[in-house]
């Protein structure tokens, strides 16, 4: 079986500084790969090279049998990779439905003129969220009034609604309380069972061990090691994060 995603020899230079070099890994369908590493290790830079935010200085990204290196973020998203960034990129002032359709809004025509179909978008948002086991009390409220966990769910709902084949999450639980972190971890499990590949960025060891099928540790911009959770432990992962040699 060929991999859903393959990153080959990724390098990113910012000015004279090499933030990431020689990063290669694969993600298979239905698999959660955790990118672990300390602050500044290069995790966000790696995923931005995959999601089309950055063009790699060197290296290639193959997705679903195609070379996608150098495509725009929008084109990568259309190809089936949904990225949930650290800051979530939700529009706080809009309701969940409009957030679900952000950038690809549904319209309907009245007397030949296009209008946003808020009702249909809200209905879709409620449906997708319900399928995730999440009830939003009032779908007309802007998402700024929702809890961190609910906001995260909307970002994940967006990935599901648009039938992403790969979902990338950059520290999704960092700003959440413990019950909400559990919700997000459960959602990751559900996505996996639907065959979606996941790249999860985290430096939270319990999250890493709970979610990962494979753990790839980045230290100072390079891959310090790759392990299955069953063949390693907290101590070794921390040592690898600190940049100790294999
Ligand atoms: N846009 C940028 N311009 C210059 N340097 C950057 C930029 N983005 C990240 N870096 C640098 O690249 C390194 C890796 O950063 P980052 O990928 O954000 O790490 P992580 O997500 O693992 O915390 C850091 O040294 C950071 O300062
Ligand atoms: Mg980061």
- Residues 112-125 as b/e (b if ≥16 CB within 10 A, e otherwise) read eeeeebbeebbebb
Interval between CA 18 and ligand 1 midpoint (Å): 9
Of the ligands numbered here, which is closest to the C-alpha atom of 10? 1
Distance of alpha carbon 184 from alpha carbon 15, whole angstroms = 36
| Distance from Cα 129 to the centre of ligand 2, integer Å | 27
pLDDT tens-digit map of 79-108:
999 888 766 667 778 888 887 787 778 888
Report the separation in Å between the CA atom of 17 and the middle of ligand 1, taken as the mean of its atom positions.
Answer: 10
pLDDT per residue over 192-224, tens digit each?
A: 998 999 999 988 898 899 999 999 999 999 999
Residue 26 pairs with which residues in a beta bridge? 6
In order of their start, the domains of the chain are: 5-94+164-241 (3.40.50.300)
What predicted TM-score, i.e. pTM, was given to this entire model? 0.84
Residues with Cβ–ion distance below 5 A, ligand 2: 44
């Amino acid at each position: 079986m060929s991999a859903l995603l393959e990153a080959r020899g990724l390098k990113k230079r910012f000015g004279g500084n090499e933030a990431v070099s020689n990063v290669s890994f694969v993600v298979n369908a239905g698999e959660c790969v955790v990118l672990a590493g300390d602050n500044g290790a290069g995790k966000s830079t790696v995923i931005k090279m995959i999601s089309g935010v950055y063009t790699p200085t060197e290296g290639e990204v193959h997705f679903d049998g195609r070379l996608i290196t150098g495509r725009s973020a929008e084109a990568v998203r259309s190809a089936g990779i949904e990225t949930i960034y650290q800051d979530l990129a939700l529009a706080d002032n809009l309701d969940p439905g409009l957030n679900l359709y952000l950038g690809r809004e549904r319209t309907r025509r009245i007397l030949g003129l296009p209008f946003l179909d808020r009702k249909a978008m809200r209905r879709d948002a409620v449906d997708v969220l319900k399928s995730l086991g999440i009830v939003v009390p009032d779908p007309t409220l802007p998402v700024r009034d929702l809890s961190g966990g609910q906001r995260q769910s909307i970002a994940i709902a967006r990935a599901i609604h648009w039938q992403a084949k790969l979902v990338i999450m950059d520290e999704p639980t960092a700003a959440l309380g413990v019950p909400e972190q559990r919700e997000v971890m459960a959602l990751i499990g559900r996505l996996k069972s639907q065959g979606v590949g996941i790249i999860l960025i985290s430096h939270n060891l319990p999250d890493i061990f709970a979610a990962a099928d494979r753990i790839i540790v980045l230290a100072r911009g390079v891959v310090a090691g790759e392990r299955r959770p069953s063949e390693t432990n907290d101590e070794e992962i921390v040592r690898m994060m600190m940049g100790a040699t294999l």
